Homo-oligomer: A and B are copies of this chain.
Amino acid sequence: MLDIPKKPYGKLDLISADDHIIEPGDVWTKRAPAKLKDNAPRIVIGPDGMELWKVEERMTPNIGLSAMAGKTFEEYTAKAQSYKDMRPGCYDAKARVADMDLDGVKTQVCFPYVPSLGGEAFFEIKDAELRDWAISAYNDWLVEDFQATAPGRLVGLGILPLYNPEMAVGELHRIVKRGIKAVSIPCYLEGAKGCKSLVDPWYDPLWSACEEMDITINLHISSAKKGGSEFLKNPLPGMAEAYITAAPLGNFQILADIIWTGMLHRHPKLKVVSSEGGIGWVPYFLERADHTYNRHRFWTKSQLTVKPSDYFHRQCYVAFINDAAGVACRQMIGVDNILWESDYPHTDTTWPFSHKSVDESLPGVPEHERRKIVFENARRIYHLN
């Protein structure tokens, strides 16, 4: 077991832009209307005594790598975990806040687990009524139970029925009124059922609605079909680690797509967050994109009117855990565009040593820059004033 500090850190001067919920078993069953009661996503016990999430006919466990806070690296496992195997902060909002106190983290911005990172697992639900309801019910749980436990300290990212942009706009309006401050969108949305690429103009009305309400879209690495846990099935030894090593770079491609196809050009107030993507590759990304603009915009008849890096600096935010190369080149990225994250309770988490990790990550960074990176930028874009 990890040697966990006994008393709270004290200073709550970190905001983490990317953390993860394991939903408690009653999120959907306790709010299901009578006619959906029997089909609401729920925990069932498998033949070997394992807890499994049942969503229609699909059964999936809470996989170990998603709930490793408090374990030593030697204890990390991909094997299914029961709730009793996890630290309660994984699934219990009150226990989570206690863990945040212990770690000196004021606020966490949290992604879902059962619906997948951007809701895409629920897009697969065959029963249309159940599908639409399961998404809304998750958002209701975020507002009524999760966020209500500690207002301003727990931020739940809403999910949207992206298989129907008009419905997605409606749900966005509904949940923002209820207190949702940002949403999660799958990166490779074209891999999610009934959806198109997020750079497809089909979604323009949704991005316009996000602009109007100043709602940030959060793109987490490994979301939708190009990522996921496919690597666990790969027979060649080492491919799991190769997958984990390269996973953040999916967000290099998605930022390239978003900028080049004009999504940010058409929506100049839209804010986009790259979650868990790291920052060490961002200076290269910006150089490479501007280089491409310099050399290729003539034959491609690019619709961009300013350099790709200008769109990035105006509208993109990049979250990192600890990343020496990115911090060294932070002026190329833009100190106003960087967010820190603790990734609780996943394997990359800095918990319960986030302050130590931040201090080691930001050697020689002046206090006013540090404060932007670990607190102010996130406070601004997630409306935590």
Contacts and interface: CB of A to CB of B under 8 A. Distances in A.
B280 A347 contact: no
A155 B322 CA distance: 42
A295 B245 CA distance: 11
A281 to B, nearest CB: 4
A288 interface: yes
Copy count, this protein chain: 2
A280 B290 CA distance: 14
A336 interface: no
A303 B237 CA distance: 8
14 contacts: A75-B298, A200-B236, A238-B300, A238-B304, A239-B260, A242-B259, A245-B285, A249-B249, A249-B253, A252-B281, A280-B284, A283-B325, A287-B323, A325-B325
A348 interface: yes
Interface in A251-280: 252-253, 256-257, 259-262, 278-280
A295 B72 CA distance: 9
A178 interface: no
Interface residues of A, number: 65
Contact of A253 (B77, B246, B257): B246
A237 B253 contact: no
A325 B326 CA distance: 9
A278 B283 contact: no
Contacts of A328: 328-329
A284 B241 contact: no
A12 interface: no
A382 interface: no
A164 interface: no
Contacts of A308: 245
A294 interface: yes
B76 A296 contact: yes
Nearest to A294: B73
Given A236-B261, A253-B249, A280-B281, A241 B332 contact: no
B278 A280 contact: no
A291 B289 CA distance: 27
B261 A347 contact: no
Interface in A175-211: 197, 199-200
A257 B244 CA distance: 11
A279 B278 CA distance: 17
A292 interface: yes
A257 B260 CA distance: 29
Interface in A66-107: 73-78
Interface string A218-253: 000000000000000000111111101110110011
A322 B288 CA distance: 9
Contact of A281 (B74, B281, B300): B281
Given A197-B236, A242-B257, A249-B252, A288 B298 contact: no
A297 interface: yes
Contacts of A113: none
B300 A240 contact: yes
Contacts of A240: 296, 300
A133 interface: no
B287 A284 contact: no
Interface in A149-181: none
